[in-house]
Amino acid sequence: MFKSIISLSSLLIGVALLLTGHGLQLALVPLRAEFIGWTSIDIGYLSSVYFIGFITGCFIVPQVVSRVGHIRTFASMTAIMTATVLGVALTDSFIFWLLLRFISGLGIVGLYLVIESWLNSQVSNEVRGSVLAAYTAIVLAGLALGQLLLNLAPPEGDQLFIIAGILIVLAALPVCLTRSSQPQSIPSARFSPRLVLKTSRAAVVGALIAGLVSGSFYGLGPVYGLQTGMNVFEISIMMSLAIAGGALFQFPIGRMSDRFDRRRVIFAALVLGAIMAGCALLVPTHIVPYIMFAFGAAVMPIYALSLAHASDFAEPGTFLEVGTGLQMLNGVGSIIGPLATSQLMFRIGADLFFVSLAIILLLGAMTILVLIRLRDRQSDHVVDFAPATTAAGQGALQMDPRSDDEDLASDGLANEDSDDEVFEGTVLPKDESDTYYQD
């Protein structure tokens, strides 16, 4: 494992620099918008359009890579990201910011896809899970560190945008100068909503709820902090501790889900997250940042748990399609969440931030409980948990040890030799009476 990580050190250094700069601008944009005087609704739109660009990039970037290669794509996306970060400091035009946020979402997913595809091509199945764990830890550590960099300069000025831009553009150096051979292409994003539902409804609910909560938290958390009287230091602690909690508890909660029914672990995580959101409403404002560690520990692993539960029931050769479908659902949640939460914050008050999160989590928990009662079934074939983060792009699905060569080979045989019908690029059984919905 360590030999593989050392051989990939240049790429991982690029990831660390990229995610630190990205984490900084992710927290800085809503803060700057609040200082300008824009409403919570305006900031909610900025967050949602970013995730629209993120989803769009999953379909566009693979085609770009197939034409110009990984290195040129990475360099181009780095230039795009740097330009959008610096461009925000040029003007206070809301329309211009919306355009920049869309481009930023497209650019960051392009960078994720290139790095993750590259990493995937360099590791064997034996160490794939360990490399994915190291990659996930670096992603979350970079995001958390980026939040803390908010304290280097006043958010009202342009210095922090310049720092974020410098970090992002420096990420291109180790990647573009690496001696590792670049892979040929990135698989296009293909998925079937029908197949995702047939695989696991509980995973669908979990992925959607994870998107609703994470999109709202990243997009509006700094706004909530300012509106309730927090200073920049407290806001940075609040955001970074939530990410740190999610990073540290990925494995403990994941291993617990390997031993017990994953649906019940998802249910417990949703309930605990709702409780922590409720506690944030009851304690003094200066205590809220420290509650966020437990909130992140409960909420951040939900997407990975949902992906693991879906993989338990995924047919051989369909994991990439199912995983991509869950990621798209997560992205849809990340678009809707900030829009809905910002409306409540604008019309009623900042406290509705955590009220909204608590309600979303409780509704998700109730839905999971209903699904458990409807079909109290354990999987006959349980796949080991693998860490995942909604921050990463579609390419992380290729790194997942659950999408191994055997599954990919069976997928090719199914497409070539089977008489099954194909729906949106995914093999589905011709006789639907032989299928059933998993919970």
Residue among 274, 298, 299 at smallest CA distance from 354: 274
pLDDT digits (tens, 9 = 90+) for 231-284: 999 999 999 999 999 888 877 887 787 787 888 889 999 999 999 999 998 998
pLDDT digits (tens, 9 = 90+) for 79-107: 999 999 999 888 888 999 999 999 999 99
**Taking the model in full, what pTM does it have?**
0.80
Radius of gyration of the chain (CA): 21
DSSP 277-312: HHHHHHS-GGGHHHHHHHHHHHHTTHHHHHHHHHHH
**3-state SS, residue 421:** strand
pLDDT at 317: 64
Q: Are residues 341 and 357 in contact, defined by beta-carbon separation less than 8 angstroms?
A: yes
Asked if the structure places residue 298 within a domain, the reply is yes
**CA 403/CA 380 separation, integer angstroms:** 18
Reading the block at residue 436, the tokens are 């059933």
pLDDT at 275: 95
**CA 341/CA 211 separation, integer angstroms:** 13
Q: How many domains does the chain have?
A: 1
Which residue type occupies 217?
A: F
Asked if the structure places residue 280 within a domain, the reply is yes
Asked if the structure places residue 439 within a domain, the reply is no
pLDDT at 433: 37
Residue ranges in the chain modelled with pLDDT below 50: 378-380, 405-437
Asked if the structure places residue 322 within a domain, the reply is yes
Q: Are residues 215 and 335 in contact, defined by beta-carbon separation less than 8 angstroms?
A: yes
**CA 430/CA 410 separation, integer angstroms:** 17
Asked if the structure places residue 32 within a domain, the reply is yes
pLDDT at 193: 73
**Residue range of the domain that includes 273:** 2-434
Reading the block at residue 42, the tokens are 């305006």
pLDDT at 416: 42
Q: Are residues 240 and 148 in contact, defined by beta-carbon separation less than 8 angstroms?
A: yes
Number of DSSP helices (H) and strands (E) in the chain, helices first: 19, 2
pLDDT at 99: 95
CATH number at residue 166: 1.20.1250.20
